[in-house]
Structure 1
Amino acid sequence: MAHGERLVFVGDSTTAGGDWSAWFPDDDVVALGRDGDTTASLTERLDEVVAARPDSVVLLIGNEDFIARRTVEQVVRGVESLMVTMRRELPGTRLLLQSILPRTADQAPRIQDANRHLRQFSSTVRAQWLDLWPALADESGEALRPEFTTDGVHLSDEGYRAWVAELLPGLERLRGEPPMSRPLTVLHVPYDID
């Protein structure tokens, strides 16, 4: 696996809580996770991601959108808009889109619906998809495993270890892909993500 790359982690408080530099010591890590970030607020600060000039972007976003009671369609459109913008602004960057994490069983159908759409969309912008659900969900397959969370939302140390265990091979696959050499032509469709 190639090391020494500019690796940018982007997302909400789950990403903000990660010790990325310690977990990826051979890379030039930029941690751009922010507490409370939604797809809309991340859109407003996407210039930070572009300015970091990443070799690879690791994105996990959407959880706070569900907390804010956005619809599945709003969440999906918000993530899609982010991905389209990143692909346009960072044509040579490898993109890794991670599934929205499980939370409680009553929220599982909506989150899994969004993840199905995002998995299908990821190839449209030549992003790799990493499904974290199987590794982090409980035996019912619908909620975050109790030992992986401190409060039903945020990850415990054990939860982060389980996430990183999935992320390591995911990044290895991502780094095995050549970076794009030219911008991808995509439709620019404004999305209402407010």
Structure 2
Amino acid sequence: MQPFFPVQQLSPTASIQDTQKWLIKNRFSSYARLFSHFSGSDLLKLTRDDLVQICGPADGIRLYNALKSRSMRPRLTVYVCQESPQGSPLLERHCTIENGEHRSSATLHVYHALYLEELTAAELIRKIASVCSIPLGRIHQVYRQGPTGIHILLSDQMVYNLSDESCFLISTVKDELGEGLHLILK
């Protein structure tokens, strides 16, 4: 099964060069020369009938749909926040002293939204690695903290059954050899 890559929208502000790149990236390279002087705005102004007349019925409709497509809603949204190695969140507010009074402010947790389309453990791990700036090859295992603190190995079935908009705090633990990392989703 081939992976599905949603069509990226062509911006009305796209330059002629950006429009050419968009056509090639979205499998319309045979029409790049024909539209070589079109900006994003020019191409987006064309009607369905215009495109059918220029490109023929099959490619004209396909190009029209690509130009007018809306972004698909992700199948699952997960929010993650990485803990620092000391176990505290990455960003903290410090204690301040105002008018002789000691005030401490709460810890600030900054979460990243991960939008999943495939609902697989591999997709979730790739996206976690990206937002946490961890090389994918360093991640050896990913666990979800379960009841009574047990660590459950992340699987496709587990990702498939996550509730939409689940929130996780990510702890990193060095593996036994100290070369890789285990991630724990709390």
Q: TM-score category by the smaller chain?
A: under 0.3
Larger relative strand fraction: 2
Higher relative contact order (CA 8 A, sep 6+): 1
Larger relative helix fraction: 1
| TM-score, scaled relative to structure 2 | 0.22
**Which of the pair has more CA radius of gyration?**
2
| TM-score, scaled relative to structure 1 | 0.21
